[in-house]
Amino acid sequence: MAPKYKAPRGTQDVLPEVSWRWQRVEAAFREICRRYGYGEIRTPVFEDTELFVHGTGEGTEIVTRQMYSFEDRGGRSLTLRPEGTPSVVRAFLEHGLHSRGVQKFYYIAPIFRYERPQAGRYRQHTQLGVEAIGAPGPDIDAEVIALFHDFLTEISLEGAVTHISSIGCRNCRPALSDALRAFFKPKLDDLCEFCQARYEANPLRILDCGVPADVEARVGAPSALDHICDECRAHFDAVVALLTELDIPHEVDPTIVRGLDYYTRTTFEVVHPSLGAQDVLMGGGRYDGLAEVLGGPATPGIGFGSGLERLLLVLGEEGSSPGPDVYVAAASEEARGPAFKLALELRRAGLSVEIDYIGRALRTQMREANRLRARAVALIGEDEMAAGTVTLRDMATGEQESVPAGQVAERMKSRPGGDGA
């Protein structure tokens, strides 16, 4: 006990007995992205610190308190990616993709934030994300939300609720902020210290603060949706209409405000009631000003990020990993050589094969085969070696048969339930 080294705080090891769950969810996400025409993008785990300071936003919690930043040996300030969007937009601009119409990306990438760990919140977590850059219209907004909805269906995750709103554009945001300041001015002293600071810089954020006093203070506050401009309103109404038409369940919730500076117009999140305080499964929105902020031509964009660890928390631990096709058992010390050779031959024939490496008793090998949920056991002992055969036992039925050594793979593939893959 008390090993010398432990995984750093807020990080975790994913062992083979659970990583198959991760792979299953990742595979489903890749498949849905393929159907929607989103191609995988892989960007560096670290970037120029300035990318996030300007992209994510100087005043955001992420930039001011949560980044893992370091100086490399060349004196450059680098930062472990605390969110995915700036990297993707940076790559989009760097490779001149703005001249190629709408570009759609997806990624599965580790994200790093220095936060106090708790259930559903880690210092390194994995985000499944999507970014669609270059399309200004409401249809792509609906598409991105539909994509996630289909993904949840694909992994059989039930009970998630989609909230959607609009926080306006750079033209109408000032008027919205003014309306909020006017409303909160007489109550300024009642607000929490953070919200008092937000009052000037970004009064919108007061709307989703969780402090009880603030929740009370904002009763009757102006709704973002009532103060956005006609263009933003039309865009939002069109998104909602599309979702309704597509049968994507959603709730309009004017209180959702994302914590990153670059969001414009459509914002959304998907929450799940089984998760407790960290209940956001997916969050995203439109970021029509980001490309410009990063020094590129004005280009609209929209995307989301979804925490893989949280998805797995909701999915729970039902089910079990698939077992090997064949467990090769050696009945004696002398049979271990032929058994090992058989295992390799079966593997080359495309079967997944497990075998004992430490000379355990035959009984224990059988137990192991059972525990692993092997479909069959191929047994080799004195009799088999003499006859050039293998005893093949079906672990579900208990039936055994003698099979010529060279025909085991063939026999397995022809069995019911065998796919030979």
Nearer to RNA, 88 or 377 (CB): 377
- Specify the DSSP class assigned to residue 415: S
Nearer to RNA, 364 or 414 (CB): 364
CA 240 to chain centre: 25
Could you say which of 21, 90, 125, 218 contacts RNA (CB under 7 A)?
Answer: 125
Could you say which of 161, 211, 221, 315 contacts RNA (CB under 7 A)?
Answer: 211
Which of these ranges, 72-80, 98-106, 222-230, 391-399, lies near RNA under the rule CB under 7 A? 391-399
Q: How far is Cα 307 from Cα 127, in angstroms, rounded to an integer? A: 5
Nearer to RNA, 229 or 362 (CB): 362
Could you say which of 19, 64, 244, 370 contacts RNA (CB under 7 A)?
Answer: 370
Nearer to RNA, 231 or 399 (CB): 399
In the chain, what's the furthest Cα-to-Cα distance? Answer: 95
- Specify the DSSP class assigned to residue 251: E
Q: Minimal distance in Å, beta carbon 95 to RNA?
A: 24
Among 103, 113, 120, 55, which Cα is nearest to 81's?
A: 113
Q: Minimal distance in Å, beta carbon 97 to RNA?
A: 23
- Specify the DSSP class assigned to residue 118: B
**Contact map string, positions 278 to 307, toward RNA, x by CB under 7 A:** xxxxxx---------------------xxx
Nearer to RNA, 154 or 233 (CB): 154
**Contact map string, positions 81 to 120, toward RNA, x by CB under 7 A:** --x---------------------------x-x-xxxxxx
Instruction: Examine residue 9 and tell whether it contacts RNA (CB under 7 A).
Output: yes
Rounded (5°) CA angle 327-332-334: 105
> Side chain identity at 32, as an amino acid letter?
I
Instruction: Examine residue 67 and tell whether it contacts RNA (CB under 7 A).
Output: no
Q: Let me know: does 268 contact 248? Beta carbons within 8 Å.
A: no
Q: Let me know: does 389 contact 381? Beta carbons within 8 Å.
A: no
Instruction: Examine residue 382 and tell whether it contacts RNA (CB under 7 A).
Output: yes
Q: Minimal distance in Å, beta carbon 253 to RNA?
A: 13
Nearer to RNA, 334 or 410 (CB): 334
Give how far Cα 159 sits from Cα of 183, 245, 269, 279, 285, Å: 35, 21, 14, 12, 21
Q: How far is Cα 144 from Cα 146, in angstroms, rounded to an integer? A: 5
Q: How far is Cα 65 from Cα 62, in angstroms, rounded to an integer? A: 6
Could you say which of 176, 312, 328, 379 contacts RNA (CB under 7 A)?
Answer: 379
In this structure, the number of other CB atoms found within 10 A of the CB of residue 388 comes to: 10
Give the number of residues in contact with RNA, rule: CB under 7 A: 72
Instruction: Examine residue 377 and tell whether it contacts RNA (CB under 7 A).
Output: yes
By CB under 7 A, the residues from 349 to 368 that bind RNA are 360-364, 366-368
Instruction: Examine residue 2 and tell whether it contacts RNA (CB under 7 A).
Output: yes
Task: Name every residue whose Cβ is closer than 8 Å to that of residue 93 and which is 6 or more positions away in sequence.
Answer: 291, 294, 295, 296
Q: Minimal distance in Å, beta carbon 60 to RNA?
A: 6
Question: How large is the C-alpha radius of gyration of the chain?
Answer: 28
Grouping H, G, I as helix, E, B as strand and the rest as coil, residue 307 is strand
Instruction: Examine residue 277 and tell whether it contacts RNA (CB under 7 A).
Output: yes
Among 92, 106, 104, which Cα is nearest to 140's?
A: 104
Could you say which of 16, 210, 295, 416 contacts RNA (CB under 7 A)?
Answer: 210
Tokens of 99: 């001249």
Burial (Cβ within 10 Å: 0-12, 13-18, ≥19) of residue 2: exposed
Q: Minimal distance in Å, beta carbon 117 to RNA?
A: 5
φ, ψ of residue 20 in degrees (nearest 5): -65, -30
**Contact map string, positions 303 to 332, toward RNA, x by CB under 7 A:** --xxx-xx--------------------xx
130 beta partners: 106, 304
By CB under 7 A, the residues from 146 to 205 that bind RNA are 194, 205
By CB under 7 A, the residues from 28 to 47 that bind RNA are none
Instruction: Examine residue 209 and tell whether it contacts RNA (CB under 7 A).
Output: yes
Nearer to RNA, 62 or 294 (CB): 62
